[in-house]
Copies of this chain bind each other. A is one copy, B any other.
Amino acid sequence: MVQAELQHLKIAEYLIDCISAGVYKEGDKIPSENELCRQFGTNRSVVRQAVARTASLGWLTSWQGKGSFVNQRPRLVPYNLSSSTCFSDNMNNQGIMHSCKLLKCVKRQPTEKEKYYLQLDRESSVYELEILRYVDRCPISVTTTILPAEKVPQLEKHLNNFQSLYQVMSGYYHLKPRRFKSVFQAMLPVTSDAELLHIPENVPIIKIESFVNHLDQPVEYSNSRIRGDMQKGLITF
């Protein structure tokens, strides 16, 4: 790697080189800011700028009171995007250990957008679920799912020991959900999603909106925010 002239870039490159070369391994603590000041004979502002840059490039995370630690480099889990909608099946097919947690389940009036997407009239209400999914005990995505209440009456009664929304929909309501459209986009997470996913605000995510039908009737609209550093999407035509 070419030597930079600027001090903070030089220190950042040094850190990245060390991590790349395995001098500091995943989970290791790098030297403290004051120690780096001594090593490079410079000021703490400069060192902080270097560490901040290295962190924003995804190599480190800093923790107040503890130090700065080399990020885990998780493997990229492929997600097969097709008309089949089941996350569990998708992971099981690849032999990937996974789980999920239901964060929220409320019944409420739909927004205008939801009315339009789900073709609802003015009287109807919807369920809003929030589901956090894990791969190898690591949070990978958070999904907000909107379901028309008339399609899944008393949904809250079937969500104990929640494992898979698809199982609930097919098991209790005899629905065969099929994804017919998805829209995906790269963005930075909002603060609340960053917290749920245990990532700093500068790690990009993929937002996938999916529109799901049962026999040409809309039964689900979902909005997933997925860690870009952990999952890639596969599409086959």
Residues of chain A at the chain B interface (Cβ within 8 Å):
45, 56-58, 76, 78, 81-83, 178-188, 201-202, 204-206, 226, 228-229, 231-237
Chain B residues with Cβ below 8 Å from A182 are: 234-235, 237
| C-alpha gap A46/B232 in the complex (Å) | 38
Q: Is B76's CB under 8 angstroms from A185's CB?
A: yes
Q: Are B185 and A233 in contact (CB under 8 A)?
A: yes
For the complex, what is the distance from the CA of A56 to the CA of B205, rounded to whole Å? 15
What residue of chain B has the Cβ atom nearest to residue A184's Cβ? B233
A184 touches which of B57, B58, B232 (Cβ 8 Å): B232
Instruction: Tell me which residues across on chain B come within 8 A of A82, comparing CB atoms.
Output: 237
Complex: chain B residue closest to A235, CB-CB: B182
A188 in complex: contacting residue of B81, B184, B201, B204, CB < 8 Å: B204
Q: Which listed residue (B56, B202, B206) contacts A186, Cβ 8 A?
A: B206
Q: B188 touching A235 by the CB < 8 A rule?
A: no
Contact A187 B202 (CB under 8 A): no
Cα of A174 to Cα of B47 in the assembled complex, Å: 58
**24 A-B contacts, Cβ less than 8 Å apart?**
A56-B56, A56-B202, A76-B185, A78-B183, A81-B235, A178-B237, A181-B234, A181-B235, A181-B236, A182-B234, A182-B237, A183-B232, A183-B233, A184-B184, A185-B231, A186-B187, A186-B204, A186-B206, A187-B228, A187-B229, A188-B202, A204-B204, A204-B228, A206-B206
The distance in angstroms between the C-alpha atoms of A186 and B202, with both chains bound, is: 12
Q: B236–A180 contact, CB under 8 A?
A: yes
**What residue in chain B is nearest A58 (Cβ atoms)?**
B188
Q: Quick one: closest B residue to A84, CB to CB?
A: B237
Inter-chain CA distance A57–B204, complex, in Å, is 12
Q: How far is the CA of A83 from the CA of B235 in the complex (A)?
A: 10
Residue of B at shortest CB range from A56? B202
Q: A180-B237, A184-B233, A232-B185 are in contact. Are A202 and B202 (CB under 8 A)?
A: yes
Contacts of A228 in B (CB 8 A): 185-187, 204
